[in-house]
Structure formats: C-alpha cells, structure tokens
Amino acid sequence: MADGREAVVDVTHLRELLATIEAVLFDFDGPICSVFAGYPAPKVAEHLRLDLQALRPDLVWSAAGCSDDPLRVLIDTPAWGPEFAIAADDRLTELETLAIETAAPSHGGEASMRACRDSGRGLAVVSNNSARAVRTYLELHGLVDLVGGRVIGRRHGRPELMKPHPAPIEHAVRALGIAPSAAVLVGDSLTDIVGARAAGVRCIGYADTPGKTELLADADVVIKDMQVLAEQLRDVPAPRR
C-alpha cells in the first residue's frame, strides 16, 4: 500500500462488518476524491467571503466564518437571513463545481464504488458538498451509472442540516430502502462518524492523512487506503435479503 502504511487497522473486523452490510454510503470529499486538490479550500473560502462581503458590506464574520474551510464559512450565513444563506450556497456551489475540474481521485475510491455495485450492494453518495458538484465529478469520471440518482448533497440554503446532522444520511437510507443497521458510511471526518451514529448507521473511518487514525477511533473500523475496501467488498458476499 501507499508509503508502506498498513491499509486497515483490523481486516477481520472489516470483513465481519461487510458481511452484514447491504449498502455503502460514500462521503464525497476524501473517500472518492480530493475536491480542492487544484483549487485549495482556503482560496475557495477567501473568494466566497469576498463575494459575500460585496453583497453585504456590513458583514461581521464569526470564528467559523473566518475559517479556511468554505463549508464553515457557509455555516455563518443563515444569521443574515434565509435569502442571504441561499445566495451564499449558490455562490459556493459555483466555486465547488469549478474546483471539480481539478479534483484528484482518491486511490481506490472508484474501485470501491465499482466493487460495491458488483457485490450486489446498494450505494449512495452523501456529501456536505453540493449535489451539483458531486454529479459533475461523477459525470466527468464516468461514474453516474454506479450511483444513479442517489446523490445526497447539502440542503440548499440550510447549512445547519449538513453532517453531523443525521438528515442527509437518513435520506440516503430511505432512498435505498434498507434498515439503517444494514448500511455503512465511509467518511474521513468526525462529522461523518457523529452523523452516522445519530442515524443508526455503522461507520468506516477513512484515515488518509497522519493523525486521522486517532481522530476517527470511534468509527466501527478504520482504513488508510480505499483500495482495501474495494478488495474486501469484492471478497465478502453481501447478506441475503
């Protein structure tokens, strides 16, 4: 595996988990691709703030709004009213979609999606990014057929409903027509773990950078390379329904 790291903390546990799983929910930024690989997130956050400041020169940002994370900037916007939050979401969607042009695929991300489909399991993408940005990436990389319409992006103009809120994960589970306990979310952040727990869904932590193994320790299992998930999805049969 890449740079000599072990690919998974506990292969046996991963296999035991997958043996009970009817569908995999993939977080987008991280497990599938690095959205801001070519258009760095701090630049996106800065451009978003500048554009919004032009609309409302009186804005005073909180600590979240001053973040280098554009999603954190978006969280600030409902304080200035629902119409402003919608305008902010529209602008961030444009910036995210631009970033998709230089997004970098994650090692094993596409393989995991294909292995999930080939194993007979359902799959969906559940993201705090906009559904438009996610669909643009899937179209560019020929992955639309794997997911179909099961792309759950953030609720337009309602950033408070992004993960760790369970609503988008619950939406995905309903779309797949399965019990929450039969689904697992693959995510690379604490918001994914907290959201999954609140929705009654299991969680695989994707620790793609140093230090994330400890950060994601509350996940059911932690992997360091998406390729190992692809291999195990191919090898472990889906449960009979």
CATH number for the domain that contains residue 18: 3.40.50.1000
Pair 19, 118 in one domain: yes
Pair 130, 60 in one domain: no
Per-residue model confidence (pLDDT) at position 7: 53
Pair 28, 130 in one domain: yes
Q: What is the DSSP letter of 8?
A: B
Whether residue 240 lies inside any domain: the answer is no
Pair 75, 167 in one domain: no
Pair 28, 45 in one domain: no
100, 117, 145 - which closes a domain: 100
Residue by residue, pLDDT tens for the chain (241 residues) are: 333 345 556 899 999 999 999 999 999 999 999 999 999 999 999 999 999 999 999 888 888 779 999 999 999 999 999 999 999 999 999 999 999 999 999 999 999 999 999 999 999 999 999 999 999 999 999 999 999 899 999 999 999 999 999 999 999 999 999 999 999 999 999 999 999 999 999 999 999 988 899 999 999 999 999 999 999 999 999 998 6
Q: Which residues form the domain of 66?
A: 41-100
Output the CA torsion 107→163→143→227 (10° steps).
20
74, 100, 126 - which closes a domain: 100
Per-residue model confidence (pLDDT) at position 62: 83
Whether residue 47 lies inside any domain: the answer is yes
Whether residue 195 lies inside any domain: the answer is yes
Per-residue model confidence (pLDDT) at position 3: 38
Whether residue 136 lies inside any domain: the answer is yes
Per-residue model confidence (pLDDT) at position 130: 98
Pair 207, 116 in one domain: yes
Pair 63, 171 in one domain: no
Whether residue 241 lies inside any domain: the answer is no
Per-residue model confidence (pLDDT) at position 10: 81
Whether residue 76 lies inside any domain: the answer is yes
Pair 127, 114 in one domain: yes
- The size of the chain, in residues, is 241
Per-residue model confidence (pLDDT) at position 17: 97
Pair 46, 163 in one domain: no
Per-residue model confidence (pLDDT) at position 184: 98
Per-residue model confidence (pLDDT) at position 20: 97
Distance of alpha carbon 173 from alpha carbon 163, whole angstroms: 14
82, 100, 118 - which closes a domain: 100
Pair 226, 149 in one domain: yes
Whether residue 112 lies inside any domain: the answer is yes
Whether residue 174 lies inside any domain: the answer is yes
Pair 132, 31 in one domain: yes
Pair 47, 128 in one domain: no
Total number of domains in the chain: 2
Distance of alpha carbon 164 from alpha carbon 56, whole angstroms: 28
Rg of the chain over CA atoms, in angstroms?
Answer: 18
